């Protein structure tokens, strides 16, 4: 009990530390510790930690008594960064291939290690009194213990995650054979090797690729939804036929994938018009399926249909705006072709005029010669 009471401040610090990591993870979308701690390292907390570590080492060597909490924290922080740094290097490489699985594994291992090291490896005064070792020896021993626990956690979590992965894979395979999942749904969160190379060639880094895939997966789901919802009523079919919205949306989606750096140029389509269209169509079909309808219901349906028509037109306008450079280039090429045609026609007319003039001169000369012979 006394030991747990002594470790209570460290447990509080560990909880705050883990909470800070979770916030940083959700905000940055980091997949390794380099990205996770990039902003955390710049905080005053790291400076205070570094100063406390230096002061602990200094005062311990010259024989001063140091507040136990600082000793506990600094004795284990070395093991924390050494162990998690090594795992970051290893699992960071794995995360590039099996991103979701190994990212979760990486964080799981690290969180368990931090919990163990902060709560159980932090030594109290009984440890120091019993061993009577110099402080730097105790730091090394704490580090080795932390690394040992980290390796044990890594092994257990790796075996456990492998079992879970194999079971999930078997379940997905069974579900696929029974027709529960379509091929497109299975691949929605997978990036093929070719697509990964395409995104990297376009200048995206791993975090940008992950964010881009999330946005496009959401857009794909919305396009699939409106593709299924549009044909359910005659009025919506007429609107879709007039604007060709499904094909425009699908083409827009492919063009964004081909040019991922232009994601911001398609923000109106992705974040405003496409979600609005999906929501409006779903509500229209839901209201239209009501058996009993009154005048107000029909007015709502008409107003919703008009809004859907306007959103479809806005999607078409956004598509044209996205390809404005292409249209401008095509327009310039058309103008250039017209100028070439006009120049060619002008040259042909000029050549024809010259030929006609020469023919006329020859004819006049022949007539003159004929008149002279007759006079003789």
Measured CA to CA, the distance from residue 62 to residue 373 in angstroms comes to 137
How confident is the prediction for the chain on average, in pLDDT? 66
For residue 52, what pLDDT is reported? 53
pLDDT band at 325 (very low <50, low <70, confident <90, very high): confident
Residue 23 has pLDDT above 80, yes or no: no
* 304 within 8 A of 280, measured Cβ to Cβ: yes
pLDDT band at 124 (very low <50, low <70, confident <90, very high): very low
Q: What is the C-alpha to C-alpha distance for residues 216 and 214, in angstroms, rounded to an integer?
A: 6
Alpha helices in the chain (DSSP H): 2-28, 33-36, 44-61, 68-95, 99-116, 125-131, 135-177, 183-186, 193-201, 206-229, 234-243, 245-258, 267-268, 274-288, 295-322, 324-375
Under 8 Å between Cβ of 101 and 165: yes
Nearest to 79, CA basis, from 53, 102, 48: 53
Range among 53-62, 196-205, 265-274, 323-332 rated most confident: 265-274
Q: Which residues contact 49 (CB under 8 A, 6 or more apart)?
A: 73, 74, 77
CA atoms within 13 A on the CB side of 20: 15
Question: Which of 151-165, 186-200, 351-365 shows the lowest mean pLDDT across its residues?
Answer: 151-165
Nearest to 273 by CA among 252, 293, 300: 252
pLDDT at position 242: 92
Helix (H, G, I), strand (E, B) or coil at 29: coil
* Residue 277 predicted with pLDDT over 90: yes
Highest mean pLDDT among 119-128, 308-317, 359-368: 308-317
CA of 277: how far to CAs of 146, 178, 240, in Å? 54, 32, 11
pLDDT of residue 55: 56
372: tokens are: 């002279």
Give the model's pLDDT for residue 185.
47
Residue 309 pLDDT grade (very low, low, confident, very high; cuts 50, 70, 90)? very high
Residue 369 has pLDDT above 80, yes or no: no
- Tell me the per-residue pLDDT of 171-211, one tens digit each, with 9 for 90 and over: 555 544 444 344 444 444 455 667 878 888 888 888 888 88
Q: Region 114-126: what's the mean pLDDT?
A: 49
Least confident of 169-173, 234-238, 346-350: 169-173
Q: CA 85, CA 32: separation in Å to the nearest integer?
A: 10
DSSP letters for 105-124: HHHHHHHHHHHHIIIIIS--
**Tokens 């997966």, residue located:** 217
- Residue 311 pLDDT: 93
Share of the chain above pLDDT 90, in %: 14
Distance, CA of 357 to CA of 20 (rounded, Å): 91
Round to whole Å and give the CA distance between 11 and 4.
Answer: 9
In terms of average pLDDT, the best of 113-127, 141-155, 250-264 is: 250-264
**How high is the pLDDT of residue 43?**
47
Separation CA 166–CA 127 (nearest Å): 43
Looking at residue 105, its pLDDT comes to: 56
Predicted local distance difference test score (pLDDT) of residue 332: 62
In this prediction, residues 247-255 reach a mean pLDDT of 92
At residue 301, the 3 state secondary structure works out as helix
- Split at pLDDT 50, 70, 90, the class of 306 is very high
For the record, the structure tokens of 278 come out as 């999906």
Helix (H, G, I), strand (E, B) or coil at 293: coil
Q: How confident is the model at residue 21 (pLDDT cuts 50, 70, 90)?
A: low
Give burial (CB, 10 Å; 0-12/13-18/19+) of 56: buried
Handedness of CA 21, 25, 28, 30 (dihedral sign): positive
Is residue 310 scored above 90 in pLDDT? yes
Supply the pLDDT for residue 157: 54
Confidence of residue 127 (pLDDT cuts 50, 70, 90): very low
Q: What is the gyration radius of the CA atoms in the chain, in angstroms?
A: 37
Condensed to tens digits (0 to 9), the pLDDT of residues 28-75 reads 444 444 444 554 444 444 555 555 555 555 555 554 444 454 555 555
DSSP letters of 74-104?
HHHHHHHHHHHHHHHHHHHHHHTTSHHHHHH
User: What pTM did the predictor assign?
Assistant: 0.41
């Amino acid at each position: 009990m006394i030991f747990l009471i002594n470790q209570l401040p460290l447990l509080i610090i560990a909880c705050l530390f883990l909470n800070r990591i979770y916030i940083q993870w959700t905000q940055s979308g980091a997949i390794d510790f380099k990205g996770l701690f990039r902003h955390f390292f710049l905080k005053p907390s790291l400076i205070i930690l570094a100063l406390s570590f230096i002061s602990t080492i200094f005062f311990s060597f010259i024989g001063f008594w140091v507040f136990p909490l600082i000793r506990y924290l600094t004795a284990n922080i070395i093991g924390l960064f050494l162990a998690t740094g090594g795992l970051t290097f290893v699992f960071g490489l794995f995360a590039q291939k099996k991103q979701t699985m190994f990212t979760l594994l990486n964080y799981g291992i690290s969180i368990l290690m931090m919990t163990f090291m902060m709560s159980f490896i932090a030594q109290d005064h009984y440890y120091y009194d019993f061993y009577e070792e110099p402080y730097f020896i105790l730091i090394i021993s704490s580090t080795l213990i932390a690394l040992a626990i980290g390796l044990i956690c890594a092994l257990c979590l790796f075996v456990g995650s492998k079992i879970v992965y194999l079971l999930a894979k078997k379940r997905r395979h069974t579900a696929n054979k029974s027709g529960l999942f379509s091929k497109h749904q299975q691949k929605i969160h997978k990036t093929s090797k070719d697509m990964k190379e395409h995104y990297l060639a376009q200048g995206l880094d791993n975090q940008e690729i992950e964010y881009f895939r999330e946005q496009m997966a959401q857009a794909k789901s919305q396009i699939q939804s409106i593709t299924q919802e549009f044909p359910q009523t005659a009025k919506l079919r007429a609107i879709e036929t007039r604007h060709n919205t499904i094909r425009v949306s699908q083409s827009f989606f492919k063009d964004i994938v081909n040019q991922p750096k232009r994601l911001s140029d398609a923000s109106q389509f992705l974040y405003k018009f496409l979600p609005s269209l999906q929501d409006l169509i779903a509500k229209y079909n839901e209201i239209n399926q009501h058996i009993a309808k009154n005048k107000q219901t029909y007015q709502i349906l008409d107003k919703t249909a008009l809004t859907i028509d306007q959103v479809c037109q806005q999607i078409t306008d956004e598509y044209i705006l996205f390809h404005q450079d292409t249209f401008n280039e095509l327009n310039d090429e058309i103008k250039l072709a017209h100028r070439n045609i006009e120049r060619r026609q002008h040259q042909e007319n000029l050549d024809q005029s010259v030929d006609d003039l020469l023919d006329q001169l020859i004819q006049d000369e022949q007539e003159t010669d004929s008149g002279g012979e007759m006079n003789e």
